[in-house]
Homo-oligomer: A and B are copies of this chain.
Amino acid sequence: MARAQLPHERAGTAQKVTLVMVAHRAGVSPQTVSNAINSPNLLRPDTLQRVRRAIDALGYRPHRAAQSLRTRSSKLIGYAIKPVPPDTSNPVMDGFLHALSQTADDSGHRILLFAAPDGPTELDAYQELLDTYSVDGFVLSGTTHGDPRQPWLAKRSVPFAAFGRMWSGRQVGDWVDVDGAAGTAAAVEHLVTQGHKKIAFLGWPRGSGAGDDRATGWKRAMQRHGLPVRGRHAETFDDVELSRVAAGPLLDAGATAVVAASDTLAVGCYRALADRGLTPGEDVVVTGFDDTPAARLLTPPLTSVTQPLGAAGRECVRLLLARIADPDREPERLLLAPELVVRASSTAWTRA
């Protein structure tokens, strides 16, 4: 590439600063400036520093679209936002999305949001982002049993990191997840410490990854303490009124504590207690999961398991960038520990 001999005096004017001007000021070739921006590891440290000083001094900003064509890196990360079912919301993802965006920004990347449909056309949306925006990779969330996205992306060597483990099939790619079993186990430990032995579990129907994981944590912790699990397990869908019905037999069988797989299920348990003239937190203690904004607003305020969503968002970006930098690195899979937030629903109990 020919080296242009622009006088550097022009650089300070309102004229658009170009890569060639930076090269001139740093006394290097334009290709070296390009490398400093796109492949800094190719340069000697002192050269890199000289170019960076010139970039700073001139206020040069590479245009991302042009840069993308040169380097085949768009610095864009695709993230599919799922439809919100009409009667619910997912406040849990709020903190995740902010951490994702912030961490991506810190490394010079941006999150490209797209509305992927559920169902057979879901992967078309991923394909389209690759084709039209050349995203560098994807962050996935809401992974399910038989999720088609991980094998599809892996087959095409598209870098990705998932928030949510692979619940079935051959493990491919990197993921970070929250250790749901550790969360319900922590709830059991907290209750055992207070003298509870009849600790029931109110969960979702078998077959959902996260639901089964939470049930397992309760069961293992019970067994660790030699406490019986028979007749202490009920399951239903994530709905207050269904939960109110499902909790009944657990209470009638004499449970003094109920570990619920969600805050919604915990509220159903509150209502089943009220139906029986019992006071949640005093006659029978209850814990929830996810620490939704509702937890602190309930009467009594609900003990719940909070997920480290900020950390999950940051780790997803870290794993993805590491994968982009080295496609052959060993897959990394992280389980983050959740935390039990103790409130009045599990502390006011007096041993019967």
Contacts and interface: CB of A to CB of B under 8 A. Distances in A.
Interface of A: 61-66, 68-69, 74, 76, 79, 81-84, 88-95, 97-98, 101-102, 104-105, 110-115, 125, 128-129, 131-134, 240, 263-264, 267, 270-271, 274, 292-294, 296-299
A48 to B, nearest CB: 20
B65 A69 contact: yes
A281 to B, nearest CB: 13
Contacts of A134: 63-65
Nearest to A112: B110
Main secondary structure of the interface of A (DSSP, over half): helix
11 contacts: A61-B131, A64-B132, A79-B113, A81-B97, A83-B98, A84-B95, A101-B115, A111-B112, A113-B113, A294-B297, A299-B299
A271 B293 contact: no
Nearest to A64: B132
A296 B69 contact: no
Contacts of A90: 91, 94
B112 A112 contact: yes
Contacts of A297: 240, 263-264, 267, 294, 297-298
Nearest to A68: B65
B132 A62 contact: yes
Q: Which of A64, A79, A114, A240 has the most CB of B within 10 A?
A: A64
A79 B110 CA distance: 11
Contacts of A91: 89-91, 94, 293
A263 B65 CA distance: 45
Contacts of A92: 89
B65 A240 contact: no
B84 A74 contact: no
Given A61-B132, A110-B112, A294-B294, 12 more contacts: A63-B131, A83-B98, A84-B94, A89-B92, A89-B95, A91-B293, A93-B94, A104-B115, A105-B114, A271-B299, A294-B297, A298-B299
Contacts of A95: 84, 89
A59 to B, nearest CB: 10
A113 B102 CA distance: 9
A292 B134 CA distance: 38
B89 A101 contact: no
B63 A84 contact: no
Contacts of A79: 113
Given A133-B64, A240-B297, A293-B292, A115 B98 contact: yes
A82 B299 CA distance: 30
Contacts of A240: 296-297
Q: Which of A88, A134, A240, A299 has the most CB of B within 10 A?
A: A299
A115 B264 CA distance: 31
A227 B263 CA distance: 40
A114 B113 CA distance: 10
A298 B298 contact: yes
A134 to B, nearest CB: 6
Given A297-B298, A299-B299, A65 B74 contact: yes
A29 to B, nearest CB: 23
Q: Which of A90, A105, A115 has the most CB of B within 10 A?
A: A115
